[in-house]
């Protein structure tokens, strides 16, 4: 055990010696990091270590990877595991492999080495730091074997950073308490699912109601006045001592998609409860009321209608939706009544905007941006607006052998031009994305020139002007491509949702808290929709994103985050609350 202060003040040799084991057999890393002292926080030291690795040459990076032993593979048999790694792998139970598991790992090691030429690196302590199961290790190994080489090299470096992070925590005696709480609570909630496999928590199902009850209990235990409102939102109030203070709202949704991840939405509720619990335990009060809302519904799974919870809070719940039926024929009204709610009271949920200071939501990123930049958190600039279209192209189906290239009206070739045009056009602004997610030649035959092709279009940007300009150009180019190729085109607009820009004054205070944590305040766009999008209609909003592991995958059981990233996010949010200043208007 040592302290950050000791590390900041010791001589180079001591520094390198102390940190030598953090990055396996690679003294060059602490050597270069030493120049960057002093570090204000452990986070800053971690990020500095990582940035030295990122800035290193490809050979140095590969050398770092190769300095690590194979996972319970040949190296283990030969007894050449380093002490650190051997200990960690043993704690992960890898010394208790069955013969079959050992054989599988050996095969994976061989295949992996043949494919990539470096050993498979995995932080076997996992995102919680409590250790991965052998089954999870083997599953991850098999999955990553299919990665592209460059991706996999980057993933190995990220796993090395995670190993180093855990070793540095041990060295400095850091325990991510808030992060651990968030991770454990998310695991508890993930036990309640509408399905036997995976996590599905749709609006007002038994799993959903159990989840609500648990959130209510945790909120109450954390010192909040809590209740479940008429739409199913779980609302906890951490009241200020100033009775007529305004209210800052935080939270996110607790429903999930089908077979979803356990952090999407829930992180933002659990993190806020953990932070309030911390304040409550210390007897700290805030100069404003803090409201933590677990929104009942955001994903739209059961009734094909999204944002039910946040729309009720902003007073925009559409009562006509009560007549909508789920797949089994039960109406939303009946589902509410069965769950003990009075749907007639829903309109009364709407908040008075004059009472509000704003809305700040913490959410897992659901994408790869923070992961690729080695940053635990980021500050959202805007929730992208979205324009969606269905495009139907009609050419002339004809014989693939008898129709010369110059006489074709190939609907798929027109579609191909459109796909590449969308890709090119939507690469022209940093906040812009454009996707053709559906693409199909209906009843296509290998020897028939496509007479028809259908495709979808999804264009999003941080601001409406950028998106609208791209959409207009894309639609114009579709017409031009089709005119040139003699293709008939029908374009139908499916969705047009405006962007919700985040409030600069809230973003600034989040950025300051982030920097105080020793983390650069990196800004990014939210391409996905969030409850903050609805809340933005009545108050200023901001969002803090937490890094998403496994390549940024979301809406999937593989969605993951680390306890350390949850900890950083919670500490930033706590610090943000403590330093919160209402806007001067």
Which residue number, 113 or 440, has a Cβ lying nearer to its own copies?
440
Q: Give Dmax over CA atoms of the chain in angstroms.
A: 84
Does residue 486 touch its own copies according to CB under 8 A? Answer: yes
Judged by CB under 8 A, the residue of 37, 440, 503, 508 near its own copies is 440
Which residue number, 139 or 151, has a Cβ lying nearer to its own copies?
151
Does residue 492 touch its own copies according to CB under 8 A? Answer: no
Which residue number, 122 or 393, has a Cβ lying nearer to its own copies?
393
DSSP-derived letter for residue 79 is: T
- Distance, in Å, from the CA atom of 187 to the CA atom of 100, rounded to the nearest integer, reads 29
Does residue 423 touch its own copies according to CB under 8 A? Answer: yes
- Distance, in Å, from the CA atom of 573 to the CA atom of 375, rounded to the nearest integer, reads 16
Judged by CB under 8 A, the residue of 12, 78, 213, 420 near its own copies is 420
Does residue 532 touch its own copies according to CB under 8 A? Answer: no
Does residue 515 touch its own copies according to CB under 8 A? Answer: no
Does residue 339 touch its own copies according to CB under 8 A? Answer: no
Judged by CB under 8 A, the residue of 155, 458, 463, 564 near its own copies is 458
Does residue 555 touch its own copies according to CB under 8 A? Answer: yes
Size of the site for its own copies (CB under 8 A): 72
The count of residues in the chain is 585
Does residue 509 touch its own copies according to CB under 8 A? Answer: no
CB of 515 to its own copies, least distance (A): 24
Residue 22 CB contacts under 8 Å (≥ 6 apart), including other chains: 29, 30, 49, 164, 167, 168, 171
User: Angle of helix 149-172 relative to helix 58-66, nearest 10 degrees?
Assistant: 60
- Distance, in Å, from the CA atom of 164 to the CA atom of 125, rounded to the nearest integer, reads 11
Which residue number, 321 or 439, has a Cβ lying nearer to its own copies?
439
Helix and strand numbers, DSSP H then E, in the chain: 21, 16
Judged by CB under 8 A, the residue of 99, 406, 492, 585 near its own copies is 406
CB of 334 to its own copies, least distance (A): 30
Closest to 532 (Cα-Cα) out of 347, 295, 318: 295
Residue 559 CB contacts under 8 Å (≥ 6 apart), including other chains: 260, 261, 262, 263, 264, 364, 366, 548, 549, 550, 553
Which residue number, 183 or 482, has a Cβ lying nearer to its own copies?
482
Cβ–Cβ < 8 Å for 454, 393: yes
Judged by CB under 8 A, the residue of 5, 242, 427, 581 near its own copies is 427
Does residue 432 touch its own copies according to CB under 8 A? Answer: yes
The interface region with its own copies, picked from 48-56, 159-167, 287-295, 407-415 by CB under 8 A, is 407-415
Main-chain phi, psi angles of 487, to 5 degrees? -110, 135
Site residues for its own copies, window 134-163 (CB under 8 A)? Answer: 146, 148, 150-151
Which residue number, 19 or 436, has a Cβ lying nearer to its own copies?
436
CB of 130 to its own copies, least distance (A): 28
Does residue 405 touch its own copies according to CB under 8 A? Answer: yes
Bridge-partner residues for 253, per DSSP? 295
User: For residue 334, is the peptide bond before it cis, meaning its omega torsion is within 30 degrees of 0?
Assistant: no
Does residue 261 touch its own copies according to CB under 8 A? Answer: no
CB of 408 to its own copies, least distance (A): 8
Does residue 460 touch its own copies according to CB under 8 A? Answer: yes
CA angle at residue 554 from 524 to 308, to 5 degrees? 85
Judged by CB under 8 A, the residue of 529, 543, 568, 571 near its own copies is 529
Site residues for its own copies, window 166-225 (CB under 8 A)? Answer: none
Does residue 433 touch its own copies according to CB under 8 A? Answer: yes
Closest to 351 (Cα-Cα) out of 311, 314, 303: 314
The interface region with its own copies, picked from 252-260, 279-287, 550-558, 572-580 by CB under 8 A, is 550-558
Cβ–Cβ < 8 Å for 43, 519: yes
Q: Give the SS3 label for residue 435.
A: strand
Cβ–Cβ < 8 Å for 386, 493: no
Judged by CB under 8 A, the residue of 1, 135, 446, 585 near its own copies is 446
3-state secondary structure 298-348: CCCCCCCCCCHHHHHHCCCCCHHHHHCECCCCCEHHHHHHHCCCCHHHHHH
CB of 114 to its own copies, least distance (A): 16
Closest to 401 (Cα-Cα) out of 447, 361, 363: 447
Which residue number, 105 or 470, has a Cβ lying nearer to its own copies?
470
Judged by CB under 8 A, the residue of 73, 129, 265, 434 near its own copies is 434
Which residue number, 30 or 434, has a Cβ lying nearer to its own copies?
434
Bridge-partner residues for 448, per DSSP? 399
Which residue number, 151 or 227, has a Cβ lying nearer to its own copies?
151
Chain-centre distance of CA 19, in angstroms?
31
CA distances in angstroms from 537 to 107, 466, 485, listed in the order given: 56, 20, 44
Judged by CB under 8 A, the residue of 62, 171, 258, 396 near its own copies is 396
Does residue 526 touch its own copies according to CB under 8 A? Answer: yes
Which residue number, 337 or 416, has a Cβ lying nearer to its own copies?
416
The interface region with its own copies, picked from 24-32, 133-141, 279-287, 366-374 by CB under 8 A, is 366-374
Does residue 114 touch its own copies according to CB under 8 A? Answer: no
Site residues for its own copies, window 236-255 (CB under 8 A)? Answer: none
DSSP 396-432: B-EETTTS-GGG-B-HHHHHHHHHHHHHHHTTSSTT-
The interface region with its own copies, picked from 12-20, 127-135, 313-321, 420-428 by CB under 8 A, is 420-428
Judged by CB under 8 A, the residue of 198, 315, 552, 557 near its own copies is 552
């Amino acid at each position: 055990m040592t302290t950050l202060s000791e590390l900041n003040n010791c001589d180079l040799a001591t520094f390198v010696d102390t940190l030598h084991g953090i990055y396996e057999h690679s003294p060059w890393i602490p050597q270069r990091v030493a120049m960057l002292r002093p570090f204000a926080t452990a986070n800053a030291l971690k990020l500095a270590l990582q940035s030295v690795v990122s800035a290193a040459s490809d050979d140095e990076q590969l050398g770092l990877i190769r300095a690590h032993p194979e996972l319970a593979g040949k190296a283990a048999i030969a007894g050449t595991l380093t002490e650190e790694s051997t200990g960690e792998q043993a704690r992960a139970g890898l010394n208790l492999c069955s013969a079959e598991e050992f054989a599988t790992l050996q095969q994976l090691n061989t295949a992996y080495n043949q494919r990539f030429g470096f050993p498979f690196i995995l932080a076997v302590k996992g995102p919680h730091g409590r250790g991965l199961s052998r089954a999870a290790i083997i599953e991850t190994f098999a999955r990553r074997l299919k990665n592209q080489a460059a991706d996999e090299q980057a993933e190995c470096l990220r796993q090395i950073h995670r190993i180093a992070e855990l070793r540095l925590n041990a060295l400095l005696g850091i325990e991510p308490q808030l992060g651990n709480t968030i991770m454990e609570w998310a695991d508890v909630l993930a036990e309640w699912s509408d399905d036997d496999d995976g996590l599905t928590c749709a609006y007002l199902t038994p799993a959903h109601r159990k989840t609500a009850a648990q959130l209510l209990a945790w909120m109450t235990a954390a010192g909040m006045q809590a209740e479940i409102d008429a739409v199913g939102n779980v609302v906890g109030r951490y009241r200020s001592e100033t009775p007529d203070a305004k209210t800052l709202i935080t939270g996110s949704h607790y429903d999930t998609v089908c077979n979803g991840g356990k952090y999407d939405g829930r992180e933002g509720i659990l993190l806020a409860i953990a932070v309030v619990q911390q304040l409550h335990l210390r007897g700290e009060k805030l100069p404003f009321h803090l409201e933590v809302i677990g929104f009942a519904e955001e994903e739209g799974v059961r009734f094909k209608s999204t944002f039910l919870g946040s729309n009720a809070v902003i007073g925009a719940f559409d009562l006509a939706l009560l007549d909508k039926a789920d797949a089994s024929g039960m109406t939303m009204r009946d589902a509410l009544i069965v769950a003990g709610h009075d749907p007639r009271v829903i309109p009364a949920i709407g908040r008075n905007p004059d009472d509000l200071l704003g809305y700040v939501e913490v959410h897992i990123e659901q994408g790869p941006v923070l992961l690729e930049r080695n940053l635990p958190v980021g500050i959202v600039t805007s929730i992208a607006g979205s324009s969606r279209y269905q495009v139907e192209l009609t050419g002339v189906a004809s014989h693939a052998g008898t129709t010369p290239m110059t006489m074709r009206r190939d609907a798929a070739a027109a579609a191909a031009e459109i796909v590449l045009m969308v890709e090119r056009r939507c690469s022209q602004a940093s906040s812009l994305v454009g996707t053709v997610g559906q693409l199909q030649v209906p009843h296509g035959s290998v020897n028939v020139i496509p007479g028809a092709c259908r495709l979808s279009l999804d264009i999003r940007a941080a601001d409406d002007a950028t998106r609208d300009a791209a959409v207009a150009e894309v639609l114009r180019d579709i017409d031009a491509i089709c005119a040139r190729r003699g293709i008939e085109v029908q374009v139908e607009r499916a969705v047009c949702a405006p962007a919700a820009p985040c409030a600069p004054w809230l973003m600034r205070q989040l950025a300051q808290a982030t920097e105080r944590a020793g983390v650069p305040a990196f800004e990014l766009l939210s391409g996905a929709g969030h409850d903050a999008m609805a809340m933005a209609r009545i108050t200023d909003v901001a969002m803090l994103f937490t890094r998403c592991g496994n390549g940024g995958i979301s809406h999937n059981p593989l969605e993951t985050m680390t306890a350390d990233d949850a900890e950083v996010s919670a500490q930033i949010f706590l610090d943000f609350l403590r330093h919160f200043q209402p806007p001067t208007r």
